[in-house]
Amino acid sequence: MQDEQIFKLIQEENNRQLNGIELIASENFVSEQVMRAMGSVLTNKYAEGLPGKRYYGGCEIVDQVEQIAIDRLCELFGATWANVQPHSGAQANAAVFLACLNPGDKILGFDLSHGGHLTHGSPVNFSGKLYKPFFYGVNKETGRIDYDIMEETALRERPKMIICGASAYSRDWDYARIRKVADEIGALVLADISHPAGLIATKLLNDPLDHCHIITSTTHKTLRGPRGGIIMMRHNFDNPFGLLWNNGNPKSMAAILDAAVFPGTQGGPLENVIASKAVAFAEALSPGYKTYMQQTQKNASVMASEFMKLGYNIVSGGTDNHSMLIDLRSKGISGKDAENSLVLADITVNKNMVPFDTESPFITSGIRVGTPAITSRGVKEAEIPKIVELIDRALMNREQASEISALRKEVKELMGSRPLFTWE
């Protein structure tokens, strides 16, 4: 029996993606083989445990699949240990916290309202409920991370973990300085690289594995794989908590992190998703992937410049990565109104808080924009000014239905004939 209702909606979503301009910084398009692996018979297999150490029989083949994913990920980032089982970036962070912290321990993260992530200590998230969060943010004048405030807060509060990484920050990170502060107070450093992971893997941004104890990431966004999470370390090390095996030897951080994923925070891994991750990692190891990442970065740089030419305020004055945060207060538009107006023109962005925002999280004063998805569809920098012009027209004419309708047609003409994924 064919489920006509659901497959009709899937086709409608395919058409929406095909005919629109996708600018949500956390979204991307995957290759056919990534989707094929995810929709494979591997979805039928339960495989609690790790390769070679399962709690179920019949895992001989999925063991090979998962080990390939681990090996490819380690090669991609120069890691020596990785766990590819987390179902999401949030699950990866939850496992790291479980491995490294006790309830009530202090953590220091990048403020959500300045561009951080929910799982870095937000009071509405488990990370802010189970642990005692403190925050650093950006300088009001420059829009860049205020490392002096980060250091002052760390030295005063002495958190057990410093978290770096963001969901809406367009500049590179000074991982070396963060590690220096952490070493002074005996803290661990977690780098959540979910957004810029692909740029880091291709050496287009600073490498957190050189300085941070533990790395987490999603596998979608710039990595252009399925939705999922990962945990990595450049070097394994003995845990600093005094935890020992029965023979008296110290447990390694790798062993503690593995146990924090399963059985600590998850049950059986999704081996179909892990296979899909493995395919995406192989794609990211190919020479063409760096070209793709360079183009993504170039498109973002040009886009930020074009917005600024039209009088838009880009937080931090530009971008080093794939994204930008646009403060719309100078244009007299809320993030919510901007998002809704652009959706009517088949241009997808998301409303987003900006640093020192005067609106609520449900309204916001800004939008977040990114270039990974349009770059996957073959968009080059020469086409970026046209896309920015379409966005500006939609925002400036947001109450004129006829203009929005005309814009929707232009968007379809620009994007409708493009595949969802190109290999360039």
- Of 153, 218, 265, 375, the catalytic one is 218
Helix (H) / strand (E) containing 83: strand 81-83
Catalytic residue among 27, 48, 359, 403: 48
Residues 198, 45: Cα–Cα separation, whole Å: 29
218: annotated active-site residue: yes
Instruction: Count Cβ atoms within 10 A of the Cβ of residue 178 and give its class: 0-12 exposed, 13-18 middle, 19 or more buried.
Output: buried
What distances in angstroms separate CA 158 from CA 106, 187, 191, 399, one per listed residue? 7, 8, 18, 51
Q: Which residues of 155-175 are buried (b: 16+ CB within 10 A; e: fewer)?
A: eeeebbbbbbbbbbbbbbbbb
Among residues 46, 251, 298, 336, which one is catalytic?
46
Q: Is the dihedral of CA 31, 32, 34, 38 positive or negative?
A: positive
Distance of alpha carbon 45 from alpha carbon 274, whole angstroms: 12
Strand, coil or helix: 116 = coil
Which residues have CB under 8 Å from 76's CB, separation 6+?
Answer: 201, 281, 284, 285
The owner of tokens 């809320």 is: 334
Query: Residue 218 gets which letter from DSSP?
Result: E
Active site annotation includes 265: no
Active-site entry in 54, 160, 224, 227? 227
Choice among 192, 306, 337, 357 that is catalytic: 192
Q: In one letter, which amino acid is 46?
A: Y
Contacts of 312 (CB under 8 A, 6+ apart): 326, 327, 328, 330, 331
Q: Is 158 a catalytic residue?
A: no
Name the residue among 309, 321, 414 with its Cα closest to residue 372.
321
Tally of CB atoms within 10 A around 243: 14
Residue 227 annotated as catalytic: yes
Distance (Å, rounded) from C-alpha 4 to C-alpha 92?
35
Q: Is 329 a catalytic residue?
A: no
User: Residue 403: helix, strand or coil by DSSP?
Assistant: helix
Torsional sign, CA 36, 373, 217, 117 = negative
Q: Is 190 helix (H, G, I), strand (E, B) or coil?
A: strand
Residue among 54, 171, 179, 221 flagged as catalytic: 221
The structure tokens listed for 346 are 């088949």
Instruction: Respond yes or no: is residue 291 known to be catalytic.
Output: no
Write out the catalytic residue numbers: 46, 48, 192, 218, 221, 227
